[in-house]
Amino acid sequence: MPKFSVETPQNVAVSIKIPPEMSPMDQLELMERYTATHRAYEGKSREEREIACLRILYPALFRSIEPDDLFAGRLDFLPIGFGCVTSVGGVGHYCVFNKLTAFKDLLPSDEHERVDALYDYWLEHDLKTKYCRQALKDDVVGMFIDVEYPLIVTARLSGMMLNYHMLMDLGISGIRERIHEQQEKLGDNDFYRASLASLELFSSCCDHLADKVRSDMEGATPKRREELLRMESALLRIRNDRPETFVEALQLFWLYALLAGVINYGRMDDVLGPFLARDLRTGHLTESEAFSLLQSLWTMIENRRTTVNGRIIVGGRGRLDPESADIFTRIAMDVAHSCRYVEPQFTLRFDRETPDDIIDAALDAIGSGATYPTLYNDDVHIPAVMRAMRVDEKTAEQYVPFGCGEFVIQGQSVGTPNICINLLKILQIALNDGIDPMDGIDKSDGVSLLPAEEIDSFDVLFSQYKRLLDHYFDLSIESQLLSYDVMNQEVSFLFTSILMDDCVERGKAVLDGGIRYLGGTVETYGNINVSDSLAAIKKVVFEDQRVTLSALRDAVNRDFDGDMLLRRHLWEAPKYGNDNDEADTMANEVFEFVANGIRDRGINAGMTYFLIVISNNQLNTEWGRRTAASYDGRRKGQFMNPANNPQGGANTSGPTAMLNSLTRFDAGLHGGSLQNIKFTPDFFNGHRDLVKKMFRVYFDRGGCQLMVTIVNRGELEKAVKNPDTYRDLLVRVSGFSAVFVNLETDIQEELMSRVLYG
Amino acid sequence: MDNPKFFVTSIERGAYHDGPGLRTVVFFQGCPLHCAWCCNPETQPFRPVLLHEGKRCVACGNCVPHCPQQALSLREGRLHVDRAQCISCGRCVPVCPGGAYSLSSEIMSSEEILAVVMKDADYYRATGGGLTLSGGEPLCQRGVEVLLFQAKQANLTTCVETTAALSYKVLESVLPYVDYFYIDLKHSDRDILLRETGADLDLVTSNIGKLMDKGANVTLRTAVIPWYNDDLSTLRSIFHLALALGVTTYVLLPFHQLGRAKYAKLGRPYTLEHLKTLTPEDVSEAASLGRQMGLDVRIGG
Ligand code: SF4
Ligand code: SF4
């Protein structure tokens, strides 16, 4: 059995969670009841077990309604429970062991034994642990997020964005009817029965929340009473019927998303816009009430603290009623402008037809320092998604980015990123006879490799790297498929399955053959460090012949100790992000090899798609800490390049050069790629028209996505503290430009307080 | 001379301060003037100069034996460059592990320059941008008219930032290929101008006048420098001069010290440290004055 610690944190949690409302003793009792139920259903079908367990959790885990909430639904998570992602709770029937251990401290010591008993039970039953036992491989395949490994894997069902149209059109009772129809047609089964029971559970949660609402009415101000009355009537309607008003639709969507355990929401303008537009038209709602309701949604999402999720997507092609949707979009834009939360990750899809005022509002929000919306270009993405995922145009129009940037087709595909691969570590292993220079452990997994002394050309080096990558790609597809098998054996993700095409039609859960498009994604890290490393080796070793490959390997393994001159030559070799043909071509070559390698394996395994994503989160930093120095001049332990951006701001040739480099990759080969670009307020806000036209050119040239940061005073302070991450921050005035972090301290201060209008 | 070569100190892409739209600014080595507030002092000499960045020097002494002129020495743990001996051969540049050295310019042909410039052609088309020549004094470069001609052939809009302190013949030779002249009017007093910058006011104004007569598109610019020309009476007389020359487009550039570090790298003293950096607000009164007088004044970055 592979060695691993069940206590490894399962994700990089950036935001601090709100502690549960229940007392520790109540939490313990609930977890015990959950565990007892799980045990009692041993030998029963997974569906029966799942619904029985869900009944223990809900409605018990609902928190009180906060005084500012305009619709109901706040949930707590305990170290033991049920879920589909690692950011809230865990996956399937889960136990988060490190949290359970920490939970012990909240209890008197004579109760610790009870926790230990739970711990022991779940060691054998936690879904992820079961997966790890089968999937991990000593020294080669590690668990999320054990950064000693080149490949880390997990079982989770991330990024599910449900078919909320179906929910709105049919309501709970309509879905129930549809299930009945299918039961008649295809015959009854556990999935249908459990689905119906899930819908019943939904209704009882509505009732439970309605009771809470009623009890809050006592002593409420007249205004609050009115809000609570509205909330109550919404809950009582949606417990069974289709929503009629915006508030009802919002309540229905939110409660369902909570019970399904999904943390990305998708095209809310498309789903909720028509309700909103009608209410505004009929005078049922005022604009300012609509604003407050959306603000309340933003707050609810923020309070879930899912770190890099909470996607709300507006705009773009393929919406049923674009005009109404745009009404939602405009208000959402105002909310994003004023809220400044880390979540929701507010995302604008646009194309050449998008109304100008929406683009302007988006740029205004960004310019004010809100960092959102993130911009996605439909003109590029729709044809790209058609190719990448092998779907038709109508389907591709429903692409939605989730989490750190992976795409799924809303309501139709599974695309969970259960694999993360450190491309840079693998390059180092390829150059060191299979040994990871970070810890001296052999991670070649039996792939035979030439020692650097025998590599006599760049091509031999590159093909050796590719061979090792190929092996790791094989491990990737195996681990992804295994994650689906293990999850499917254990659970049906009932609430999710009900709202994913074509589960109800087929009478099968998502991973049991129900989902229309079975996809998956691999998060890649260090892609640019790799291509810059290869470009540097090519130049310094094979062209300039400054050093032999083996001497280079040794110097880099020493973290350049005593060889800073070599480091400088590596650092000065062509770098991606500067519109430099050599560096960009290398980046693209690496990209295509990795993208195709993963994609082909998915197709061969019978998946609709299996794609790489170049995502944006904290893992590049975490993994970088445990990654040796690299051949692009990066020091040992330094973060790896973030998203699809150059290392440490190696792009110092200005925005147009950066944007040109970004357009080099074929978007039809990946399942999402993020790029950040920084602007001073002087440029972005002072010359908005130019910026807008510049973006237009970028998007016309094939730019797929952009995330814009405006460098305000706070950013500049960060730049002073971490110059390495801000080398791409240029200061420009007439006839002069300089890299901000290279300026003298007092001049930096001067700029912070004045010239940049921070 | 269809592919002339130049000493290029830097190329700045995606610039937005030096002419309309997004532009690529090419900086050249060499300037006939010597303004104390110059933010690109490395461009003043007509030959490349050596820059040594103290912050990056670890005083390892590696470079010392590589200098054919014995211009380098380590003294009390600090590296010393004997500027009088240095011939800018560049041999010390690649041997420094810290990357402390650089030469101020490299030789580029007009073809090479335009290859870089053309990479942003799409952006110029979308924004009305193009190529800007700056420096130094770009018009002191031999063959600059060829570069400008080629730029026009390539459908670029062209802008030249010049001191106009040179023979009109030069201006005349580039006139057909320049869409925008940005000319510095640094002072209205003949003696002060000569003393502080080395420029001949009569030459500058007569050149501007001739360009205006030929219908050139001229924008005048004044770097507003605290001890030198920032009082309203001086600015008023500068504005008068502009109006007399028939120019109405005006840019005021508030004084900054961003180029200060470069003086240290050149081993030259920076004499304006005591002066206050100006903000756009600081020159807004001057701008309104110009506007009252009938000029179209913009405050530049
Ligand atoms: S080689 Fe570089 S770091 Fe060493 S003394 Fe010379 S300038 Fe300084
Ligand atoms: S540029 Fe040449 S002459 Fe000048 S210091 Fe360096 S090596 Fe010596």
Which residues on chain B place their C-beta less than 8 Å from a C-beta of chain A? 12-18, 21-22, 25, 39-40, 62, 94-99, 119-120, 122-123, 125-127, 134, 161, 221, 251, 253, 256-261, 277, 279, 300-301
Identify the band that residue A277 occupies on the pLDDT scale cut at 50, 70 and 90.
very high
* Rounded distance from Cα B59 to ligand 1 centre (Å): 5
Residue B58 CA: nearest ligand 1 atom is 3
Tally DSSP H helices, then E strands, for chain B: 10, 13
Tell me the C-alpha distance between B79 and B63, whole Å. 9
Ligand 1 contact, B61 CB (< 6 A): yes
Of all protein residues, the one whose alpha carbon is nearest to atom 3 of ligand 2 is B86
Of all protein residues, the one whose alpha carbon is nearest to atom 7 of ligand 2 is B67
Q: Which of A64, A102, A104, A96 is nearest to A77 (CA)?
A: A96
Task: Tokens for A532, please give them.
Answer: 């810059």
Helix axes A356-365, A322-339, angle to 10 degrees: 20
Pick among A545, A656, A685 to test the B interface (most B CBs inside 10 A): A656
Of B14, B134, B256, the CB nearest to A733: B256
Tell me the C-alpha distance between A398 and A319, whole Å. 8
DSSP state of A75: B
Do B42 and B262 contact (CB within 8 A), yes or no?
yes
Of A563, A565, A682, the CB nearest to B301: A682
ω into A145 cis (within 30 of 0) = yes
Of A565, A735, A755, the CB nearest to B40: A735
What confidence score (pLDDT) does residue A15 get? 62
Task: Tokens for A560, please give them.
Answer: 């350049």
Q: Which of B139, B198, B205, B202 is nearest to B173 (CA)?
A: B139
CATH 3.20.20.70 residue ranges for chain B: 5-45+105-299
Of all protein residues, the one whose alpha carbon is nearest to atom 1 of ligand 1 is B96
Nearest ligand for residue B75 CA? 1
DSSP string, B8-64: EEEEEEEE-SSSSSSEEEEEES--S---TT-S-GGGSSSS--EEE-GGG-----TTG
Identify the band that residue A756 occupies on the pLDDT scale cut at 50, 70 and 90.
very low
Do B14 and A657 contact (CB within 8 A), yes or no?
yes
Pick from A42-46, A695-699, A734-738, B255-259: least confident: A734-738
- Output the average pLDDT for chain A: 94
Give the minimum alpha-carbon distance from B122 to chain A in angstroms, rounded to a whole number. 7
Of all protein residues, the one whose alpha carbon is nearest to atom 6 of ligand 2 is B92
The burial of B298, by beta-carbon neighbours within 10 Å (0-12 exposed, 13-18 middle, 19 or more buried), is given as middle
What confidence score (pLDDT) does residue A723 get? 84
Q: Write the pLDDT tens digit of every residue in A402-417.
A: 988 899 999 999 999 9
For B97, the closest chain A residue by CA position comes to A565
Of B97, B251, B277, the CB nearest to A564: B97
Q: Are strands A374-377 and A705-710 parallel, antiparallel or unpaired?
A: antiparallel
What confidence score (pLDDT) does residue A5 get? 84
What CATH number belongs to B50-103?
3.30.70.20
Second CATH level (architecture) for the domain B5-45+105-299: Alpha-Beta Barrel (3.20)
Give the minimum alpha-carbon distance from B4 to chain A in angstroms, rounded to a whole number. 23
Residue B52 CA: nearest ligand 1 atom is 7
Q: Would you say residue A755 has pLDDT above 60? A: no
Of all protein residues, the one whose alpha carbon is nearest to atom 3 of ligand 1 is B57
Q: Would you say residue A537 has pLDDT above 80? A: yes
Nearest ligand for residue B50 CA? 2
CATH 3.30.70.20 residue ranges for chain B: 50-103
* Rounded distance from Cα A739 to ligand 1 centre (Å): 22
- Coil, strand or helix at A313: strand
Q: Write the pLDDT tens digit of every residue in A475-487.
A: 999 999 999 999 9
Nearest ligand for residue B56 CA? 1
* Rounded distance from Cα A572 to ligand 2 centre (Å): 20
For B134, the closest chain A residue by CA position comes to A735
Q: Write the pLDDT tens digit of every residue in A543-554.
A: 999 999 999 999
Long-range Cβ pairs for the range A602-607 (8 Å, 24+): A602/A477, A602/A519, A602/A520, A603/A390, A605/A477, A605/A481, A607/A518, A607/A519, A607/A520
- Coil, strand or helix at A60: coil
CA angle, A141 then A147 then A153, to 5°: 40
Q: Write the pLDDT tens digit of every residue in B185-225.
A: 999 999 999 999 999 999 999 999 999 999 999 999 999 99
Pick from A44-53, A301-310, A632-641, B140-149: least confident: A301-310
Side-chain half-sphere CA neighbours of A647 within 13 A: 30
Q: Write the pLDDT tens digit of every residue in A498-510.
A: 999 999 999 999 9
Using CB distances shorter than 6 Å, the residues near ligand 2 are: B 50, 66-67, 69, 71-72, 81, 86-92
Q: Write the pLDDT tens digit of every residue in A539-597.
A: 999 999 999 999 999 999 999 999 999 999 999 999 999 999 999 999 999 999 999 99
What confidence score (pLDDT) does residue A757 get? 38
Nearest ligand for residue B91 CA? 2
* Rounded distance from Cα A106 to ligand 2 centre (Å): 69
The answer to whether A734 contacts B18, with C-beta atoms less than 8 Å apart, is yes
* Rounded distance from Cα B71 to ligand 1 centre (Å): 13
What confidence score (pLDDT) does residue A652 get? 82
- Coil, strand or helix at A58: coil
Q: Are strands B249-254 and B296-299 parallel, antiparallel or unpaired?
A: parallel
Q: Which residues of B touch A583 (CB under 8 A)?
A: none
What confidence score (pLDDT) does residue A12 get? 62
Q: Which residues of A touch B126 (CB under 8 A)?
A: 693-694, 696-697
Tell me the C-alpha distance between A713 and A685, whole Å. 15
Of B120, B126, B277, the CB nearest to A754: B277
Could you write out the three-class secondary structure of A581-631? Answer: HHHHHHHHHHHHHHHHHHHHHHHHCCCCCCEEEECCCCHHHHHHHCCCCCC
Q: Which residues of B touch A700 (CB under 8 A)?
A: 122
Q: Would you say residue A262 has pLDDT above 50? A: yes
The answer to whether B260 contacts A747, with C-beta atoms less than 8 Å apart, is yes
Of A579, A735, A755, the CB nearest to B18: A735
Ligand 1 contact, B62 CB (< 6 A): yes
The answer to whether B126 contacts A694, with C-beta atoms less than 8 Å apart, is yes
Q: Which of A313, A321, A312, A314 is nearest to A358 (CA)?
A: A314
Question: pTM for this structure?
Answer: 0.94
